[in-house]
Amino acid sequence: AKTPLSLSEDPHRLGRPQGFVSPVHRYTRSAGAGFTVAYLGAIELMPGLPTRPAAEQLDVDADGRIVGLT
């Protein structure tokens, strides 16, 4: 996760600057998705999805009615 303005973590070095080192502030492992995120600076994250999707609670009964919606 980094600024969208630059390949580096510095928003003033636009585009694809040469010869930079990116200090990693922390890592987060998304094991279910199969990837690791390296945080290069301050960033706001969107909330994640629930562990169990709501679609797993839906079903159709023998009469064809959808059940599990509340």
Question: What was the pLDDT predicted at 2?
Answer: 59
Q: What is the pLDDT along the chain (70 residues), one digit of tens a residue?
A: 556 777 776 778 888 888 888 788 889 898 888 899 888 777 777 888 888 888 899 999 999 999 998 7
* pLDDT on residue 52: 86
pTM attached to this predicted model: 0.41
Q: Which domain holds residue 24?
A: 1-43
Residue 3: what pLDDT? 67
Of 68, 32, 37, give the one whose Cα is nearest residue 50.
Answer: 32
In-domain check, residue 56: no
Does residue 12 belong to any structural domain of this protein?
A: yes
Count of structural domains, the chain? 1
Scan for tokens 């969208």, then name that residue.
4
Whole-number pLDDT of residue 65: 93
- The answer for residues whose C-beta is within 8 angstroms of residue 9's C-beta and 6 or more apart is 2, 3, 22, 23, 40, 41
Q: Is residue 22 part of a domain?
A: yes
